[in-house]
Amino acid sequence: MSHSQEAGERISAFRKRRQLTQHGLAARANVSYSLLTKVESGSRPASDAFVAACARAMGVEIAAIIGDTGADSTRDERLGGLLAQVQTQLDLFDLDPDETIRPRSPVVLREAVRQMNQVAQAAKYEPTATVLPSLFAELQTAAHLWTGSRQAAAWGLLAEAYRCAHTVGIATGYPDMSLVALSRMDWAARRAGDRAPGLRAAREYLRVTAYLRKQDYDTCWSLNAAGRAHLEGTDQHTPGSLIAGGQLNLGAAVLSARVGDASATRDYLDEARHHARLTGEDLETFWFGFGPTNVAVHRVMTLIELGDYSHAIRLGETIEFPAEWLPTRIGHHHFDMARAYQRMSMPDEAVRHLQLARQSAPGQARRHPSVRSVVTDLLRMERHPSGALTRYAGWIGM
């Protein structure tokens, strides 16, 4: 079998593992459906550009498709196997609880969920995927067997654990798993007592981010409105309501910037800033890292969306992150800064921020589509790319 045929078979295998149709992958990778079918069948060779496009769309390394059996390819295969187990446990949510499981105390389970989300927000996806299935099973059992306030607490913790599965799925190229996890999050959140409104609103914000990537802005606005509806009748004493409401305002600001509405963008950011003054820096409620710093980071993001790159750069360079701020949020800020510098034709500064993103959350930087987009644009604009840029491109598999 030729290397081209092997590449086609591997593309097909990765596509099926991610539960994508050929039409779905072709659309996501922006390649011809007809060409994809021919490559997968082995009747047409897979060009380097075609392989790179499919790899980016599926969140896998190019080396895994072309047959490089090095450490990165092996690691991706191992993560795929772990995530398959997570998907299975997500699918088994409606089975009777396993009564052979003896759930740990609410305090211990709360700390277990907290630690798991910390690991996920540090972009350490393998350790997260390893533990999630057993944690789901334990929390499901607790939620069914416990009563009263302990039961409501268990449902809330289960919703938070499902949120963690969304984080991993969206970051590793398993968007279908992410959507299922968010569906399960709402299923559990409905039963979480006074935490239900905040959790359900937070879930709608996370769905906004998924559709934002698809540029489906009408759906984004519908989901934003649904999130706000969950918060009707709540006040600042309702657990998580201020955080969820503030984050929904940040999401609305990004949406407004995407469509060029600078006035609405400012209004939503001001409203989010009001929420942040009340909450202070809150890293862990829903794992948004909400607070004044996140508002500032989103202000930079929206300036970039509006095309005001110089203003974004001036503001972005002044931001100081609180101790223990979420690594993935720091990484995302550096992605944005790299994009702004690339648009300003300042490649060295763009690469500097890409390297800072790598330092903050390497697992995220290696996979995130924004990083690949910036690196691609930098390579196109530079006739003689720097050694730092070419090494970075190689590190992310380009």
Phi, psi angle pair for 290, to nearest 5°: -70, 145
Residue 88, helix vs strand vs coil? helix
Helices H / strands E in the chain, number of each: 21, 0
Instruction: Count the neighbouring beta carbons within 10 Å of the beta carbon of residue 218.
Output: 8
Q: Are 163 and 181 in contact (CB under 8 A)?
A: yes
Write out pLDDT tens, residues 309-324. 999 999 999 999 998 8
Single pTM value for the model: 0.79
Write out pLDDT tens, residues 176-189. 899 999 999 999 99
pLDDT for res 68: 56
Q: Are 362 and 122 in contact (CB under 8 A)?
A: no
Helix (H) or strand (E) holding 42: none
Distance CA 51, CA 12 (A): 12
Q: Are 38 and 11 in contact (CB under 8 A)?
A: no
Q: Are 90 and 136 in contact (CB under 8 A)?
A: yes
Nearest partner of 380 among 353, 348, 342, judged by Cα: 342
DSSP secondary structure code for residue 133 in this structure: H
Write out pLDDT tens, residues 84-109. 999 999 999 988 888 789 999 999 99
Nearest partner of 271 among 231, 217, 216, judged by Cα: 231
Q: How confident is the model at residue 3 (pLDDT cuts 50, 70, 90)?
A: low
Q: Which residues contact 41 (CB under 8 A, 6 or more apart)?
A: 8
Q: Which residues contact 38 (CB under 8 A, 6 or more apart)?
A: 44
pLDDT for res 57: 80
pLDDT for residue 232 is more than 80: yes
Write out pLDDT tens, residues 260-306. 999 999 999 999 999 999 999 999 999 999 999 999 999 999 999 99
pLDDT for residue 198 is more than 60: yes
Nearest partner of 66 among 135, 107, 10, 14, judged by Cα: 10
146-165 mean pLDDT:
97
Nearest partner of 176 among 189, 164, 165, 160, judged by Cα: 165
Cβ density class 251-260: b for 16+ within 10 Å, e for less: bbbbbbbbee
Tokens matching residue 127: 């350790």
Q: Are 310 and 317 in contact (CB under 8 A)?
A: no
